[in-house]
Amino acid sequence: MTQVLPVILCGGSGTRLWPLSRSGFPKQFLALSGDGSNESLFQQAIKRIHSVGSNDVNLGTTVIVTNEEHRFLALDQLRELKNISATLLLEPSGRNTAPALTLAALYAKELGGEKEDPILIVTPADQTVINPAEFTKVLAKSIEIAKEDGIAILGITPTGPETGYGYIKVENSNASTGPSKNAYVVERFVEKPNQPAAQGYLNEGGYFWNGGMFVLKASVWLTVLKEYRPDILKTTRASWQAKTTDASGDTQFIRPGRELFNAVPSESIDFAVIEKCPGSNFPIKMVELDAGWNDLGAWDAVWQVGKKDVHGNVTNGDAFLTNSKNSLIHASSRLVSAVGVENLIIVETADAVLVADRKNSQDVKNIVGQLEAQKREEKNLHRKVSRPWGWYDSVDEGERFKVKRIQVKPGASLSLQMHHHRAEHWIVVKGTAEITNGDQVITLSENQSTYIPQGQTHRLANRGTEPLEIIEVQSGSYLGEDDIVRFEDTYGRS
């Protein structure tokens, strides 16, 4: 039986999908595929790979390569998927996809020992596929290539002269027949072209989009990386040998050595290895994927895959339109209406609104750049912020005060902490709260409240089986989220 490990590369911030996608809650954790599903792109990516499991293919632990900041977002969404076990490899800093895949390959070799050399199915976490059944067939063909120590890359059938993707040029005369039909020898890789060049590729034929999906054995990746980028292999291996391990329930967290991993060269899988392979001792075969693939790289792509009305409009949430065409309206927290608009993107969240011409939706990244330059919090976090213990929503704030609505999951607790610059009033509105306030531990139920003085050590916990909600009123000279001194923390943040 063939041993296969799904590898989900779950980095990236999705800046072109701001304000819905932010660095603290990036697009892979959003439901954007337009099929009416509440599943995130991350969850869909995992399920797509797991569809290849069969009597001949044994799927092992799903490997998620992500970062510390997103580990509990990934964990919460994994728990919504039934019967899927996962290990999270937590990067202390983003070093691009080549080191990420190397971590996964080192884990796979260590997991399999000397006898097993599992095949890795490697995919980004932020793509969508309209035809999952066709995707499964293509993965099965790719596994057959990888079983023979080959490297398979999925090539997307182009639907237009797209300038936002790299291209794969194949040797058309070497198309396979039989079970590996639509598998081609890769001749070369082409960088993102301009419009005339992209049109020329379509006219000529034999060019496919590079979707960044690979199928190969763990040992093959490590061998090819040693050939072309031994520096990445050496430094990543050193950080792996210095790893630490802990767990949340049945899910394992593995952290490579922080300082050693920060010294790993930052490089993509393509630049480090894959683009060097055609014509070498490590040939690559491309398997054609014609399954309605989209990487949702900008709001225009979200409109393309969305369910359209008779006028070509895509709406989500509480949206009303009249005399409007070919537009996308996404309402998150209030009624949004549009009159007489065409080819527009309108995205509303609780703290930001985006209005853009569809053809210029790639330029949203420029707005994000301006927010970053001004150190605006709207670049990173929504008004409602997910935390490992639940979430908080900043309802209102002004000079020397801030009001939050806080929900704590059953059995969860915040850290034991203290603030230098603010005091807090807590009012329970739902559930029962266990509150540590200095030397006292008290229990409060609905409509009861307490006061946490500035500088007092405190903790909020939910020991019950239902969600706990409180209203928190902060007052003081500084109300920033960094005014937290943690003494004890269930989630490794102290």
Q: Confirm if 210 and 263 have CB atoms less than 8 A apart.
A: no
| For residues 183-208, average pLDDT | 93
pLDDT tens-digit map of 24-76:
999 999 998 766 678 999 999 999 999 988 878 889 999 999 998 899 899 99
Domain regions of the chain by residue span: 2-294, 309-369, 384-488
Q: What b/e readout covers 404-442, taking b as 16+ CB neighbours within 10 angstroms? A: bebbbbeebbbbbbbbeebebebbbeebbbbbbbeeeee
pTM exceeds 0.75: yes
* Confidence at residue 116, expressed as pLDDT on a 0 to 100 scale: 82
Whether 384-488 and 2-294 are alike in CATH topology: the answer is no
Third-level CATH fold of 384-488: Jelly Rolls (2.60.120)
* Confidence at residue 36, expressed as pLDDT on a 0 to 100 scale: 62
Is the predicted pLDDT of residue 247 greater than 90, yes or no?
no
* Confidence at residue 115, expressed as pLDDT on a 0 to 100 scale: 72
| For residues 13-21, average pLDDT | 90
| For residues 67-86, average pLDDT | 90
| For residues 397-418, average pLDDT | 95
Is the predicted pLDDT of residue 173 greater than 60, yes or no?
no
43: left (phi over 0), alpha (psi -120 to 50) or beta: alpha
DSSP-derived pairing of the beta strands 328-331 and 314-316: parallel
Q: Helix, strand, or coil here: 129? A: strand
pLDDT tens-digit map of 252-288:
999 999 999 999 999 999 999 999 999 899 989 999 9
Is the predicted pLDDT of residue 14 greater than 70, yes or no?
yes
Residue 249, exposed/middle/buried by CB under 10 A (0-12, 13-18, 19+)?
Answer: exposed
> Residues 6 or more apart from 208 whose CB is under 8 A from it?
155, 156, 157, 158, 167, 168, 170, 286, 288
Superfamily the domain 2-294 falls into? Spore Coat Polysaccharide Biosynthesis Protein SpsA; Chain A (3.90.550.10)
| For residues 140-151, average pLDDT | 95
> What does each C-alpha distance from 395 to 204, 401, 460 come to in angstroms?
56, 11, 19
Q: Confirm if 147 and 317 have CB atoms less than 8 A apart.
A: no
As a whole-number percent, the residues of the chain with pLDDT over 90 amount to: 83
> What does each C-alpha distance from 337 to 323, 328, 346, 416 come to in angstroms?
11, 11, 10, 45
| For residues 126-140, average pLDDT | 94
* Confidence at residue 114, expressed as pLDDT on a 0 to 100 scale: 65
Q: How confident is the model at residue 178 (pLDDT cuts 50, 70, 90)?
A: very low
* Confidence at residue 250, expressed as pLDDT on a 0 to 100 scale: 83
pLDDT tens-digit map of 425-480:
999 999 999 999 999 999 999 999 999 999 999 999 999 999 999 999 999 999 98
* Confidence at residue 19, expressed as pLDDT on a 0 to 100 scale: 97
As a whole-number percent, the residues of the chain with pLDDT over 70 amount to: 97
